[in-house]
Structure 1
């Protein structure tokens, strides 16, 4: 199967500090891949490089066979790559619908956030479709700050979905969630993975082991392991540097 995205010997340095070094991997279509590793392993830098927020210092990134190395982040979005962030980033005084509609409008024009009325209906259709996918259509008229934390994270994903991404990057999508909200988010990710590729950074190991088709383990900016959940869980080096010597993963 042809990979959706290929990473070839990618590195990223900040002055004399090497955050990523020699990472090569690829991501197949319609699979869920988790990126794990100790604090400071390079996960956030890796995500920023894959989403276009940072250009790699070395190596190449290809998306659907096209070299996208060093492209601006807005170009990544238009190519079909979208991401959510660890910290909730919404217009808190706008309604749920308005948050997603503004995101849809930003994809069509750079400067005017209030489009001509003839296009307004099309934008609302896209917003409603995205909200339906994440289960928030019934709450579309609520002010976004009134949503629960889990619902706000789902709204952020809806904002990403209006770009109709083929690759969706989720940065700690269950951060700060309790058990029920985490369960709801896992179910949402499973639904979304039916027709798109998902890459996520997470720390909840039980969730990752049950949700992911594949796991990448970073350590000191290098790729330590790459395999199925069972392969990674049983890898002696991964257990030594990250998972620990027992099976009580949180």
Structure 2
């Protein structure tokens, strides 16, 4: 479904992405990891249409997305939740989700309607249930906790009915309990919907717990790719992250 071929991007003299080629099978759950400055968010920006690559292709359902706007990429079926939640602060949870549903169905005239259409209301209720936000339906988005704001941000992306969902550090800024609650929701969402999910994550416990495949970036290039177990034991990954085996044990959770 999603294939990236020879993707490259430079900013001035800095090569942020270097000849990246990755296949993401339909219905897969994939982690993108790498040290700070590895180019992970730039990679998401490139495939989602927020910036244009200097070279390469982003093939989605056989069509090249390069050159399309981020809005058109969304319409093709790829949506994204950001590291910093992007919300409608003056709308309640259910109003924000109803606006996203209306936008997806190109019913912008209904965004501020007091009574959403029955099928739209059903979709809103489904998303709230999936994200564990049903009890917060009438709470203003800006008044949600940090963790619930992140859940709503994913819910807004989900309301757009994606085939591919990009999650940029979904657990950023969360404490341990919130982090595992979040990742449990992501895993349940993937298991129920079987959409293709790509996520950037720094917490290796989370990566190794839920990812089917892991792709490691370093200086914008693919350093390694494989199963979580293969990545955990890859000497190049160990060196890129930590430099020593005993540090890897502490960070990657090995005995």
Does 1:153 pair with 2:177?
no
The whole-number CA distance in structure 1 between the counterparts of 2:242 and 2:195 is: 29
Query: How many pairs align?
Result: 247
Does 1:100 pair with 2:97?
yes
Which residue of structure 2 aligns with residue 210 of structure 1? 209
- Which segment is superposed worse, 153-162 or 120-129? 120-129
The SS at the match of 1:158 is helix
Structural RMSD (CA) = 1.8
Q: Note if contact 2:29-2:212 (Cα within 8 Å) is conserved in structure 1.
A: yes
Which residue of structure 2 aligns with residue 28 of structure 1? 25
| Unaligned segments of structure 1, at least 5 residues | none
TM-score of the pair, normalised by structure 1? 0.92
Deviations 1:41-61 (A, max 9, x none): 111100111111112110111
Deviations 1:7-32 (A, max 9, x none): 11110112332110111111012221
TM-score of the pair, normalised by structure 2? 0.91
| Unaligned segments of structure 2, at least 5 residues | none
Which residue of structure 2 aligns with residue 52 of structure 1? 49
The whole-number CA distance in structure 1 between the counterparts of 2:66 and 2:204 is: 31
- Which segment is superposed worse, 176-185 or 237-246? 237-246
The SS at the match of 1:75 is helix
The whole-number CA distance in structure 1 between the counterparts of 2:209 and 2:144 is: 27
Does 1:234 pair with 2:236?
no
The SS at the match of 2:49 is coil
The SS at the match of 1:154 is helix
Which residue of structure 2 aligns with residue 170 of structure 1? 167
Q: Note if contact 2:2-2:24 (Cα within 8 Å) is conserved in structure 1.
A: yes
Which residue of structure 1 aligns with residue 129 of structure 2? 132
The SS at the match of 2:3 is strand
The whole-number CA distance in structure 1 between the counterparts of 2:201 and 2:32 is: 7
- State the Cα distance separating 1:110 from its structure 2 match: 8.0
Q: Note if contact 2:3-2:23 (Cα within 8 Å) is conserved in structure 1.
A: yes
- State the Cα distance separating 1:80 from its structure 2 match: 1.0
The whole-number CA distance in structure 2 between the counterparts of 1:80 and 1:219 is: 28
Which residue of structure 2 aligns with residue 249 of structure 1? 251
Q: Note if contact 2:28-2:197 (Cα within 8 Å) is conserved in structure 1.
A: yes
- State the Cα distance separating 1:126 from its structure 2 match: 2.1
Which residue of structure 1 aligns with residue 75 of structure 2? 78
The whole-number CA distance in structure 1 between the counterparts of 2:30 and 2:106 is: 32
- State the Cα distance separating 1:117 from its structure 2 match: 7.3
The SS at the match of 1:88 is coil
The whole-number CA distance in structure 2 between the counterparts of 1:188 and 1:60 is: 32
Deviations 1:127-164 (A, max 9, x none): 22211111112221112223221111111111001111
